[in-house]
Amino acid sequence: MSDKEYQEISIYLDDSGVFSLNSGHDYFIYAGYLFLDNHERIAARERFKTISREIKSSLGISMGSELKAAGLGIKYKRSLYNCVKSFNSLSATVRLPDVNESIMANKLSIHRYKDYALKRMIKSKLEKLIASGKIDADKPVSLRVYIDQQHTSTNGYYKLSDSIREELIHGIRNFDYGMFYPPILFADFKISIKFCDSSLDYLVQASDILANRLWYGRNFNHPKLYTNIPYHNDILLP
């Protein structure tokens, strides 16, 4: 079977907030964009690149520099968000005070929980796209996930790609509660995870803008910042 027969799905992700009860805020966010073909992926990248360069020019910032949401004014963040908001997006909203204390006290457990949040977020978005007919669950899928390398860590004990594959293709059994969560894809499946330098990837930068918007909206009680986002899917954890 050639690669041309696969449904090509690309996901770009970043996070916002500090995963700690001592952060001073209640919410941690993962967010990003999903593309079902190269045409829309390139279109989103070019839109974001164009607005990004215009903002850099107006602020006198080097074209080689990255615009980070944390250092931008509201009107510039709004412009960067608006230029790509019509594309599919997804997020995981973690309410930190509700996370089990044993997880918060252990660095490895935190990394595993972050991977869990990513997996749940991706599965939920794919389920919505399958239900709407955008993805055919009975045809092969090639999934590529791009994540900002500064904010995500994996280790030899817990492989994110293996975890996502198991969830989507084989299903997950929760022995503690006697529950089985069935698979959602039923044909050949390929997955690759790439940890990116966000300064070199406009779509990871776009994900930073979205994640920051959602983080600010949640932590400072501005629902308009995280509701009514077109083509968006959010999950609330734990």
pLDDT over 70 (residue 98): yes
| 32 CB-side CA count, 13 A | 24
Map tokens 């019509």 to a residue: 86
pLDDT at 176: 58
**Can you list the positions of beta strands (E) in 77-175?**
89-95, 141-148, 172-174
CA distances from 200 to 35, 152, 237 (A): 19, 17, 30
Tell me the pLDDT tens digit for each residue of 2-38.
546 999 999 999 999 999 999 999 999 999 999 999 9
Give SS3 for 135: coil
Amino acid at residue number 76: Y
User: How much of the chain, in percent, has pLDDT values that exceed 70?
Assistant: 92
pLDDT over 60 (residue 225): yes
Residue 118 belongs to what domain range?
Answer: 3-237
pLDDT at 157: 37
pLDDT at 179: 79
Q: Are 135 and 9 in contact (CB under 8 A)?
A: yes
Q: How many domains does the chain have?
A: 1
Tell me the pLDDT tens digit for each residue of 172-221.
877 555 678 899 999 999 999 999 999 999 999 999 999 999 999 999 99
Torsional class of 195: left (φ above 0), alpha (ψ -120 to 50), beta (otherwise): beta
15: domain CATH number? Answer: 3.30.420.10
pLDDT over 60 (residue 1): no
Tell me the pLDDT tens digit for each residue of 30-77.
999 999 999 999 999 999 999 999 999 999 999 988 999 988 999 999
Q: What is the pTM of this model?
A: 0.93
Tell me the pLDDT tens digit for each residue of 152-177.
444 433 488 999 999 999 988 775 55
Q: Cα(76)–Cα(72) distance, rounded to whole angstroms?
A: 6
Amino acid at residue number 234: D
pLDDT over 90 (residue 150): no
